[in-house]
Structure 1
Amino acid sequence: MPPAVSAAGGKSDPGDAYMLADILRTDGHRFRPLSPVSDDIRALRVLVRGRDDLVAQRIALANQLRSLLDGFWPGANAIFAAIDSPIALAFVSRYPTPDSAARLGEKRLASFLVQNSYSGRKSAAQLLGRLRSAPTGHAQKSEVVATGELVQALATVLEQVVRQIAKLSKRIEHDVAQLADGRIIMSFPRAGRICAAQILVELGDVRQRYLSEDHLAAEAGVCPVTHASGKSRGVVFRWACNHRLRRAIVCFADNSRHSSPWAADIYTRARGRGFTHQHATRILARAWIRVLWRAWQNYAEYNPEIHVGALKLAA
């Protein structure tokens, strides 16, 4: 019996491979051959996906460092807004334990801020107040030195990751602006360059890949799936999709509502119907895909003066 045909309904990779090969043998004429994207898109995809992976590592390392500091020195977490910011990493590298910062005064902290090009709006006195008013850690004295060494190690690794992310971001921002399709996506409200690059590398530059806006919306995971059998009908969340494309499209949609009155109106009306923020942004993303797909197919940048929905709202 073929591995894909079983009364038990078991699932395996050989069974899936057999089924796909059999479908291609019998119904291959129903499928369109895939066309590869250009070399420029491939190169940009490597950079974008590599950066996304580094961002995930940065978040994991920052959470680990934050959790470690909360246990024995909460003040180091409280003094600056983000533990993975350059100034915060420089601080915990220089002062990895409460004892190392015991003699830290306002003048010494001010000198440290100048040396590390701190550009925040808080004065040395305010930052020192945050440090001193934070709760006391619960670590035993015997653990403090060892924990401080681990803090320095994590800060060093995290600092390198942050630096490489910034380096890749500059390269991506430059490269996406050189591509015609990149400029199309960047023309949308609050698309930015990084988000535009994330959308572009998943969208590609082969127009025939997506037959309609509905096809693209399904691939991006911003429209639900309908299950119907007899009199039974249900609409559920779409799990099977390009998850990277969904994250990029939804991120753009969320940003766009702060600049586009049309996008803000769709989001506000969705929230008014009782939808959560995440659901409302997916609804907005679905609306933007109609506009994005048309602009992409026409090789044209976004123009609010011909956007029918935006014009109706402004009228």
Structure 2
Amino acid sequence: MIYCGIDWAERHHDIALIDGTGQLLAKRRIMDDAAGYQLLLDLLAEYGDSENDPIPIAIETSRGLLVAALRQGQRQVFSINPMAAARYRDRHGVSRKKSDPGDALVLANILRTDMPIHRPLPNDSDLARAIAVLARAQQDATWNRQQIANQLRSLLREYYPAALEAFAHWQNGLCRPEARALLKAAPTPARAARLTRTQITSALKRAGRQRGIEPEAERLRGIFRADFAHQPQLVEDALGQQMLALLRQLEAVCIAADELAEASEASFRQHPDAETLLSFPGLGPQTGARVLAEIGDDRNRFADARSLKAYAGSAPITRASGKKHHVGRRMIKNNRLHHAGYLWAFSSLTASPGANAHYRRRREIGDWHAQAQRHLFNRMLGQLFHCLKHKTLFDEHQAFPSSLVVAA
């Protein structure tokens, strides 16, 4: 048996090949280009790599062109966490010195000694990988949008409280196109107070508003002309310039989030598992795309529902040592899937009577809101694993039989 370890870097990669006894067979350094990838494949073929019997490879990343080239065919590629690799490094030397060829040898030895306890990269379809790219990018854009909106809100509190009061009752507040259009037209309170009803109406129309424009313009005009505290004029103008810079960032990330949402939804609806995911209460196209992006469509990735629940962080973990016994929530988990699960469980409370009854029952026995939500997400994950495995749709009566009786 031959094992390969690759120490990944930005410009070059170090390769080590060992046999079943740990004897070093070959080591190379290749560049991060097509010629380097071909040199790696030729080296593997020289030591017996074939389509039916590929050499397993360990590397410290799961992304990039090198990994994409290695994942062709039936080859097993193991993504080793850098922290885990650092622990293995201590087994081969006590000096704590690090070298790229030595790390490649350590990665190869990880497969030689402990390959059964490490999980290879899932064999997801190309469509599932594309959905993962779009869904994660849209999730990042959503988080960035909220972060910039919070920065803008903090800045407006320093000199422009009228804007916060004007947009307070709008859903999504500063992220709405109407709010961005008005702030662009009046970046300071002094300029907002001089806005006419016609100018406010035009700004609302440019932002795409179609209903209730006249009364909304009158309400906004009254708030902008109300009596508020002001900064000195020079300071106010400077803060207005800072606000416009943040506003441009917010507008760009809002557009990016919307475009990525459309692209991820379009790709998600093409996937065969989309019908099963959308049959679950609380799962829409965006949340469903995020869930599919993290669990993939490789049915051999998770041995059972418990593995999926542990991966999502919804299942509790038990730690016992001597007389101490502790059951708590998992800290090491897929954070993206865990975040999507919280939104899924929260939305299912109004879409499913059984889910709502399950949540209420957990609250009655003493669970906090987050605990009850996590317990509901844990149960829904088990049902999702069953439906995906057997290619069936969600059935409320089978999912929550006792809860529906209690609710009735």
Question: TM-score, normalized by length of structure 1?
Answer: 0.88
Q: Map 1:18-167 to 2 at 5 A.
A: 22-29=109-116, 33-80=120-167, 81=170, 82-119=173-210, 123-133=216-226, 135-137=228-230, 139-167=231-259
Gaps of 5+ in 1: none
Secondary structure at 1:123's aligned position in 2?
A: helix
Opposite residue 26 of structure 1, the aligned amino acid is T
Secondary structure at 1:227's aligned position in 2?
A: strand
Tell me if 1:273 matches 2:365: yes
Tell me if 1:189 matches 2:281: yes
CA displacement at 1:258 relative to structure 2: 0.7
Mapped to 1, the partners of 2:122 and 2:237 lie a distance apart of: 58
Opposite residue 130 of structure 2, the aligned amino acid is A
Are the equivalent residues in 2 in contact too, given 1:93–1:151 (CA < 8 A)?
no
Opposite residue 4 of structure 1, the aligned amino acid is D
Mapped to 2, the partners of 1:76 and 1:234 lie a distance apart of: 50
Mapped to 2, the partners of 1:16 and 1:300 lie a distance apart of: 46
Task: Report the structure, 1 or 2, having the larger helix content.
Answer: 1
Are the equivalent residues in 2 in contact too, given 1:4–1:18 (CA < 8 A)?
no
Are the equivalent residues in 1 in contact too, given 2:178–2:209 (CA < 8 A)?
yes
**CA root-mean-square deviation:** 2.8
Mapped to 1, the partners of 2:195 and 2:116 lie a distance apart of: 74
Secondary structure at 2:351's aligned position in 1?
A: coil
Mapped to 2, the partners of 1:59 and 1:18 lie a distance apart of: 44
Opposite residue 186 of structure 1, the aligned amino acid is L
Mapped to 2, the partners of 1:48 and 1:276 lie a distance apart of: 30
CA displacement at 1:50 relative to structure 2: 1.0
CA displacement at 1:94 relative to structure 2: 0.7
Secondary structure at 2:325's aligned position in 1?
A: strand
Question: CA offsets, 1:187-235, max 9 Å, x none?
Answer: 1112000000000010100111111111111000012211112222011
Are the equivalent residues in 2 in contact too, given 1:79–1:128 (CA < 8 A)?
no
Question: CA offsets, 1:61-113, max 9 Å, x none?
Answer: 11111111110111112212301111101111110011112222444423432
Opposite residue 200 of structure 1, the aligned amino acid is L
Tell me if 1:4 matches 2:74: no
Mapped to 2, the partners of 1:128 and 1:105 lie a distance apart of: 7
CA displacement at 1:311 relative to structure 2: 5.6
Mapped to 2, the partners of 1:25 and 1:181 lie a distance apart of: 36
Tell me if 1:284 matches 2:376: yes
Are the equivalent residues in 1 in contact too, given 2:181–2:206 (CA < 8 A)?
no
Tell me if 1:222 matches 2:309: no
Q: CA 1:57 to 1:48, structure 2 compared with 1: closer, same or farther past 3 Å?
A: same
Does 1 or 2 have the higher relative contact order (CA < 8 Å, sep 6+)?
Answer: 1
Mapped to 1, the partners of 2:303 and 2:227 lie a distance apart of: 57
Mapped to 2, the partners of 1:91 and 1:147 lie a distance apart of: 16
Q: Which is worse superposed, 211-220 or 33-42?
A: 33-42
Mapped to 1, the partners of 2:110 and 2:207 lie a distance apart of: 62
Q: CA 1:277 to 1:211, structure 2 compared with 1: closer, same or farther past 3 Å?
A: same
Q: CA 1:98 to 1:240, structure 2 compared with 1: closer, same or farther past 3 Å?
A: same
Gaps of 5+ in 2: 1-87
Question: CA offsets, 1:271-300, max 9 Å, x none?
Answer: 222322211110110111121110011122
Question: TM-score, normalized by length of structure 2?
Answer: 0.69
Question: CA offsets, 1:107-128, max 9 Å, x none?
Answer: 4423432343325766222233
